[in-house]
Amino acid sequence: NAGVTQTPKFQVLKTGQSMTLQCAQDMNHEYMSWYRQDPGMGLRLIHYSVGAGITDQGEVPNGYNVSRSTTEDFPLRLLSAAPSQTSVYFCASKETGTGGTEAFFGQGTRLTVV
Protein backbone atom coordinates (compact mmCIF):
# COMPACT_ATOMS: atom_id res chain seq x y z
CA ASN A 1 0.00 0.00 0.00
CA ALA A 2 2.03 2.95 -1.26
CA GLY A 3 -0.76 5.54 -0.86
CA VAL A 4 0.54 9.05 -1.62
CA THR A 5 4.25 9.26 -2.43
CA GLN A 6 6.17 12.52 -2.49
CA THR A 7 9.69 13.04 -3.77
CA PRO A 8 12.11 14.36 -2.78
CA LYS A 9 11.83 14.40 1.02
CA PHE A 10 14.32 17.24 1.38
CA GLN A 11 15.58 19.85 -1.06
CA VAL A 12 17.74 22.95 -0.88
CA LEU A 13 17.47 25.46 -3.72
CA LYS A 14 19.17 28.68 -4.52
CA THR A 15 17.04 31.74 -5.16
CA GLY A 16 15.92 31.77 -8.79
CA GLN A 17 16.32 28.06 -9.38
CA SER A 18 13.40 26.01 -10.59
CA MET A 19 12.32 22.56 -9.52
CA THR A 20 9.41 20.16 -9.51
CA LEU A 21 8.03 18.44 -6.46
CA GLN A 22 6.59 15.09 -7.39
CA CYS A 23 3.41 13.54 -6.05
CA ALA A 24 1.97 10.20 -7.06
CA GLN A 25 -0.94 8.19 -5.69
CA ASP A 26 -1.97 4.63 -6.44
CA MET A 27 -5.53 4.75 -5.09
CA ASN A 28 -7.18 5.95 -8.32
CA HIS A 29 -8.31 9.13 -6.58
CA GLU A 30 -9.69 11.85 -8.79
CA TYR A 31 -8.99 14.70 -6.37
CA MET A 32 -5.43 15.76 -5.57
CA SER A 33 -4.08 18.84 -3.88
CA TRP A 34 -0.93 20.60 -2.69
CA TYR A 35 -0.56 22.37 0.64
CA ARG A 36 2.26 24.27 2.22
CA GLN A 37 2.82 24.23 5.97
CA ASP A 38 4.45 27.14 7.74
CA PRO A 39 4.89 27.65 11.49
CA GLY A 40 1.81 29.21 13.04
CA MET A 41 -0.06 29.21 9.73
CA GLY A 42 -1.38 25.67 9.54
CA LEU A 43 -1.69 24.17 6.08
CA ARG A 44 -2.67 26.41 3.20
CA LEU A 45 -3.97 25.16 -0.12
CA ILE A 46 -1.78 26.00 -3.12
CA HIS A 47 -3.46 24.22 -6.04
CA TYR A 48 -5.86 21.38 -6.49
CA SER A 49 -7.21 19.13 -9.21
CA VAL A 50 -10.52 17.30 -9.48
CA GLY A 51 -9.35 15.06 -12.29
CA ALA A 52 -6.91 14.65 -15.16
CA GLY A 53 -6.68 17.82 -17.20
CA ILE A 54 -8.41 19.96 -14.56
CA THR A 55 -6.57 22.18 -12.09
CA ASP A 56 -7.51 25.22 -10.06
CA GLN A 57 -5.93 27.67 -7.66
CA GLY A 58 -6.16 27.49 -3.91
CA GLU A 59 -5.44 30.12 -1.30
CA VAL A 60 -1.73 30.73 -2.06
CA PRO A 61 -1.04 29.87 -5.73
CA ASN A 62 1.46 32.59 -6.62
CA GLY A 63 4.87 31.27 -7.65
CA TYR A 64 3.61 27.74 -8.28
CA ASN A 65 2.37 25.87 -11.33
CA VAL A 66 0.65 22.51 -11.56
CA SER A 67 -0.57 20.17 -14.25
CA ARG A 68 -2.50 16.91 -14.15
CA SER A 69 -1.87 14.80 -17.21
CA THR A 70 -2.70 11.50 -15.48
CA THR A 71 -4.90 10.45 -12.57
CA GLU A 72 -1.87 9.23 -10.65
CA ASP A 73 0.48 12.21 -10.79
CA PHE A 74 0.19 15.83 -9.68
CA PRO A 75 3.55 17.62 -9.83
CA LEU A 76 4.11 21.05 -8.31
CA ARG A 77 6.52 23.34 -10.12
CA LEU A 78 8.41 26.27 -8.68
CA LEU A 79 9.47 28.38 -11.64
CA SER A 80 11.85 30.73 -9.83
CA ALA A 81 12.32 29.83 -6.19
CA ALA A 82 12.22 32.56 -3.56
CA PRO A 83 13.14 32.40 0.15
CA SER A 84 9.43 32.94 0.95
CA GLN A 85 8.79 29.50 -0.55
CA THR A 86 10.84 27.83 2.17
CA SER A 87 8.24 25.52 3.67
CA VAL A 88 7.08 21.96 4.07
CA TYR A 89 4.91 20.84 1.18
CA PHE A 90 2.24 18.17 1.46
CA CYS A 91 0.37 16.47 -1.32
CA ALA A 92 -3.01 14.90 -0.63
CA SER A 93 -5.56 12.87 -2.54
CA LYS A 94 -9.08 11.69 -1.95
CA GLU A 95 -11.98 10.04 -3.67
CA THR A 96 -14.73 12.14 -5.12
CA GLY A 97 -18.35 11.18 -4.89
CA THR A 98 -21.47 11.93 -2.97
CA GLY A 99 -20.30 10.52 0.34
CA GLY A 100 -17.79 12.11 2.66
CA THR A 101 -14.26 10.81 2.31
CA GLU A 102 -10.99 11.51 4.04
CA ALA A 103 -7.88 12.92 2.41
CA PHE A 104 -4.67 10.90 2.40
CA PHE A 105 -1.45 12.83 2.83
CA GLY A 106 2.05 12.19 1.61
CA GLN A 107 5.10 12.30 3.86
CA GLY A 108 5.96 15.85 2.88
CA THR A 109 8.82 17.63 1.15
CA ARG A 110 10.91 20.01 3.22
CA LEU A 111 12.14 22.76 0.91
CA THR A 112 14.71 25.38 1.83
CA VAL A 113 15.42 28.28 -0.52
CA VAL A 114 18.64 30.14 0.22
Partner 1 sequence: AQSVSQHNHHVILSEAASLELGCNYSYGGTVNLFWYVQYPGQHLQLLLKYFSGDPLVKGIKGFEAEFIKSKFSFNLRKPSVQWSDTAEYFCAGRKGSQGNLIFGKGTKLSVKP
Contacts to partner 1 by CB under 8 A: 33, 35, 40-45, 48, 58, 90, 92, 96-103, 105-108
Residue 78 beta carbon to partner 1: minimum distance, rounded to whole angstroms: 20
Q: Which is nearer to partner 1, 63 or 108 (CB)?
A: 108
Close Cβ partners of 59 (under 8 Å, ≥ 6 residues apart): 44, 45, 46
Residue 107 beta carbon to partner 1: minimum distance, rounded to whole angstroms: 5
One-letter amino acid of 104: F
One-letter amino acid of 68: R
d(CA 56, CA 82): 22
Q: Which is nearer to partner 1, 17 or 52 (CB)?
A: 52
Q: Which is nearer to partner 1, 34 or 81 (CB)?
A: 34
Q: Which is nearer to partner 1, 32 or 78 (CB)?
A: 32
d(CA 57, CA 91): 14
84 phi, psi to nearest 5 deg: -65, -15
Residue 3 beta carbon to partner 1: minimum distance, rounded to whole angstroms: 10
